[in-house]
Amino acid sequence: MPKDLFRSAARRHKTLFDAWLTMNNPLAIELIGDTGWDCVTIDQQHGAGGNDTMLSCLTAARAAGMPAIVRVANNDHGLVGRALDAGAQGIMCPLIENVGQAESFVQAVKYPPRGRRSWGPYRAKIGVSGDYFKIANRFTIACPQIETKGALSDLDSILGLKGVDMVCFGPNDLSVALTGKLDIWVKEVQEAMAEVLAKSREHGVMTLIFCNDTEFAKPRIKEGWDVVAIGTDTGWLTAGAASALAAVGSSS
């Protein structure tokens, strides 16, 4: 079986830092990996590029030694299978509303008898010693997002599904769903975040959280979330460009 950084780090209670990409540039992935980030999320819901871009990014992630999660655009078996076959270890599915949708998603990630993933891991099996089919279900990661009222109300059932390996807490969409405002610091989001972390631990499910910035991330690291994403590549580039310009004084 290939090295499973996500599960080994979770067993050691070591937080992994996730580079969340929306520009989806292969060179950027190699540069990010060189700075020491642990893993990468390739966002195909709110990010740029299609299948060819995703494949290039997964190739770069492997070259950089970073396991990759792909967030698919929606709960679609074809999109899930395509990302897994291309070499993603984890698949993140947005806007899960209930346990039925979560079950459909898990079936897309896992081979029979647990699921209905179709055979054809043209790139995923590269470098795997032994039978990829036999190890795939315990290596791949099904990660539904908890970012809707429905998912929150059905949380125990979703976490109890065999094959739900990780959940991603999405504070931005959840804040809008719960309050009608985009504010991740509101009490409702803070309470939901604590509930998701506690119940995930009870069910033995790994946890990932998206943080808009370092201020939001630092408490999450102390709380022991397994994977913490801090901003996105577009945000880092914008902040770096603005900082460089401000340091020399912008022309007018």
Mean confidence (pLDDT) of the chain: 96
Q: Render pLDDT for 100-119 as a digit per residue (tens, 0 to 9).
A: 999 999 999 999 999 999 99
- What are 122-127's contacts with CB under 8 Å, separation 24+? 122/85, 122/86, 123/55, 123/58, 123/85, 123/86, 123/87, 124/84, 124/85, 124/86, 124/87, 124/88, 126/87, 127/2
pLDDT tier for residue 1 given thresholds of 50, 70 and 90 = low
Segment 18-23 shows an average pLDDT of: 98
Are 204 and 245 in contact, with CB atoms under 8 Å apart?
Answer: no
Kindly provide the b/e burial profile for residues 103-112, where b requires at least 16 CB atoms within 10 angstroms of the residue's own CB: bbbbbbbbbe
Name the one residue in this structure whose structure tokens are 């060819």. Answer: 52
Name the one residue in this structure whose structure tokens are 């947005």. Answer: 94
Q: Residue 206 to residues 108, 166, 186: CA-CA distances in angstroms?
A: 19, 4, 24
The DSSP symbol for 89 reads S
**Nearest Cα to Cα of residue 93 among 63, 71, 123:** 71
Which pLDDT belongs to residue 224? 98
pLDDT tier for residue 136 given thresholds of 50, 70 and 90 = very high
The whole-model pTM stands at 0.96
CA distance 75 to 45: 11
Instruction: Kindly state the helix (H) or strand (E) to which residue 166 belongs, with its residue range.
Output: strand 166-169
CATH 3.20.20.60 fits 5-241, yes or no: yes
Q: Render pLDDT for 233-251 as a digit per residue (tens, 0 to 9).
A: 999 999 999 999 999 986 6
Tokens coding 180: 């009608």
Segment 137-154 shows an average pLDDT of: 97
Q: Render pLDDT for 21-35 as a digit per residue (tens, 0 to 9).
A: 999 999 999 999 999
Helices (H) and strands (E) in the chain, counts: 12, 8
Task: Tell me the percentage of the chain whose pLDDT exceeds 90.
Answer: 96
Which pLDDT belongs to residue 130? 86
Which pLDDT belongs to residue 129? 84
Class of residue 140 by CB neighbours under 10 A (exposed 0-12, middle 13-18, buried 19+) = buried
Q: For residue 41, what are the β-bridge partners? A: 20, 69
pLDDT tier for residue 127 given thresholds of 50, 70 and 90 = confident
- pLDDT of 252 > 80? The answer is no
Whether residue 13 lies in the annotated active site: no
**Nearest Cα to Cα of residue 8 among 206, 178, 157:** 206
Which pLDDT belongs to residue 249? 87
Segment 128-141 shows an average pLDDT of: 94
Q: Count the Cβ atoms, other than its own, within 10 Å of residue 234.
A: 14
Q: Render pLDDT for 184-225 as a digit per residue (tens, 0 to 9).
A: 999 999 999 999 999 999 999 999 999 999 999 999 999 999
